[in-house]
């Protein structure tokens, strides 16, 4: 019934016709778990549909790429096959490699594709990465997930198409301006995967100024409606904006503190609600030491990229998550260095003291998850990062975006840099029933801003 309703609303036909309807199949868990659940894109395509899509779009290359993307996505999510499309591949060769690797056929029939994809998304609730994520955040395993089937729109259609991510405020440092990235001729998870380097969202203002303005206005509306900072995924198809999904943004500890007070000042939440937005780990992270500025001046910079989550992480640079888990189990501090991270890296990211990647921007998987975990991170350091630091002891400064050789000395932070923290401490004294016992901001823990500083250096 749902597919029939989409066909009526769009005038497209699932599985055939002159104007074919393709869909995406996504998870919809009650608690946001970015990247932990499976997604299948471009579902409903086969040789016949590819030909119809080529006629309808006027672009056979686009239609072929769409078909290839589907086979690759379906093989990975439904069968666990690690096939990667190459320049010379056809859908037939990808299907053959999938069959050779795992013994399964990627279905030609769109309804069979849909059934397999829905079952795979449900099954991904119990995937190793999803279980590890929930265990880390103590979410429990009984919530389950819905499955959302959406009409596909194509950011890879032409030069006036693309995909992107918008944070309505900066999730790195908490400043009020929007932060986002955009990739022309991109689709689906191209930006958040971190496999490519997108451009700043300001590029969309140059390419399509009306779309850029519409996007910012939508972001403000969504933020007011949710009373929280939003992470919005969107696609532009031939100059038309489509919002794919929105959720409360994952944020760094300093951003969490700044967002809480800013939303009070703007009347979106009251002081009691603001206190609940700042978790114990946020405050404890802000009280952690920072790189000694004097040592940083003379230190060797091995790599530099986009600061993704503030803080300092030190340890042995490892490039494999299994190795990170082994070293951590032996009591070793590790820094995880990857070309880009994927949801399968979550266990290594949880155990790492710092994270850095060769590619990807501030809205990539590595950036989003590191902010949520509170792990200092630097992304988009460029090709050669891994060879430059693997096996070395390094210091990752997620505030400046630098990776230093060796373990640098640290100093206590100047909490005058965090006036919002003192405001929150004052509200905690005013509303002693809001925070759980033991919360660093709990009433009576600090008598003043000076007391907060003294406690931080003990």
Round to the nearest angstrom and report the end-to-end CA distance of the chain: 63
The mean per-residue pLDDT over the stretch 411-429 comes to: 87
* Phi (first) and psi of residue 362, to 5 degrees: -80, -5
Q: Which domains occur in the chain, in start order?
A: 1-152 (3.30.1490), 153-250 (3.30.470.20), 253-287+414-456 (no CATH), 290-411 (3.50.30.10)
Output the pLDDT for position 144. Answer: 87
Output the pLDDT for position 135. Answer: 87
Give the model confidence (pLDDT) of 4-13 as tens digits. Answer: 999 999 999 9
Residue 41: C-alpha distances to residues 73, 185, 327 (Å) = 7, 15, 37
Give the model confidence (pLDDT) of 126-168 as tens digits. Answer: 988 888 888 887 888 888 899 999 999 999 999 999 999 999 9
Cβ–Cβ < 8 Å for 44, 15: yes
Output the pLDDT for position 456. Answer: 39
Give the model confidence (pLDDT) of 23-67 as tens digits. Answer: 999 998 877 787 788 899 999 999 999 999 999 999 999 999 999
Q: Which band of pLDDT confidence, cut at 50, 70 and 90, is reported for residue 447?
A: very low
Cβ–Cβ < 8 Å for 161, 65: no
Find the DSSP H helices in 337-384. 346-351, 365-373
* Phi (first) and psi of residue 373, to 5 degrees: -75, -15
pTM: 0.84
Which residues on adjacent β-strands are paired with residue 337?
356
Cβ–Cβ < 8 Å for 430, 271: yes
Give the model confidence (pLDDT) of 75-112 as tens digits. Answer: 999 999 988 888 889 999 999 999 999 999 999 999 99
- Three-state SS across 161-230? CEEEEEECCCCCCCCCCCEEEEEECCCCCCCCCCCCCCEECHHHHHHCHHHHHHHHHHHHHHHHHHCCCE
């Amino acid at each position: 019934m749902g597919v029939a309703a989409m066909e009526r609303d769009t005038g497209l036909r699932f599985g055939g016709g002159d104007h074919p309807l393709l869909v995406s199949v996504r998870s919809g868990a009650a608690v946001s778990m970015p990247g932990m659940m499976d997604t299948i894109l471009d579902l409903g395509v086969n040789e016949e549909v590819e030909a119809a899509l080529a006629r309808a779009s006027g672009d056979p290359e686009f239609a072929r790429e769409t078909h290839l993307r589907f086979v690759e996505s379906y093989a990975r999510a439904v069968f666990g096959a690690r096939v990667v499309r190459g320049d010379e591949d056809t859908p037939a060769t990808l299907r053959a490699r999938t069959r050779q690797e795992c013994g399964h056929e990627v279905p030609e029939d769109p309804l069979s594709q849909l059934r397999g994809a829905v079952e795979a998304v449900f099954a991904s609730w119990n995937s190793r990465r999803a279980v590890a994520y929930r265990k880390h955040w103590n979410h429990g395993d009984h919530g389950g997930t819905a499955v959302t089937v959406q009409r596909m729109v194509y950011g890879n259609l032409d030069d006036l198409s693309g995909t992107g991510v918008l944070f309505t405020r900066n999730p790195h440092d908490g400043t009020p301006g929007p932060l986002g990235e955009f990739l022309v001729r991109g689709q689906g998870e191209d930006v958040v995967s971190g496999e490519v380097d997108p451009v700043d969202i300001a590029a969309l203002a140059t390419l399509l100024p009306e779309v850029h303005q519409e996007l910012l206005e939508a972001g403000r509306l969504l933020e007011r409606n949710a009373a929280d900072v939003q992470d919005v995924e969107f696609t532009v198809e031939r100059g038309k904006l489509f919002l794919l999904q929105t959720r409360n943004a994952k944020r760094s500890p300093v951003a969490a503190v700044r967002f809480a007070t800013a939303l009070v000042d703007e009347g979106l939440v009251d002081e009691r609600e603001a206190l609940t937005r700042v978790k114990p780990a946020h405050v404890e992270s802000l009280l952690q030491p920072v790189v000694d500025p004097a040592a940083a001046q003379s230190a060797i910079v091995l790599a530099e990229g986009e600061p993704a989550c503030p803080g300092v992480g030190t340890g042995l640079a490892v490039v494999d998550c299994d190795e990170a888990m082994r070293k951590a189990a032996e009591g070793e501090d590790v820094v995880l260095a990857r070309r880009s991270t994927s949801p399968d890296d979550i266990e290594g990211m949880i155990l790492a003291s710092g994270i850095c990647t060769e590619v990807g921007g501030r809205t990539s998987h590595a950036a989003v998850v590191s902010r949520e975990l509170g792990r200092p991170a630097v992304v988009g350091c460029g090709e050669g990062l891994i060879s430059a630091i693997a096996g070395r002891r390094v210091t990752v400064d997620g505030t400046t975006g630098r990776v230093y050789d060796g373990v640098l000395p640290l100093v206590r932070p100047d909490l005058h840099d965090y006036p919002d923290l003192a405001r929150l401490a004052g509200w905690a004294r005013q509303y002693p029933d809001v925070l759980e016992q033991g919360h660093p901001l709990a009433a009576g823990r600090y008598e003043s801003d000076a007391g907060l500083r003294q406690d931080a250096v003990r």
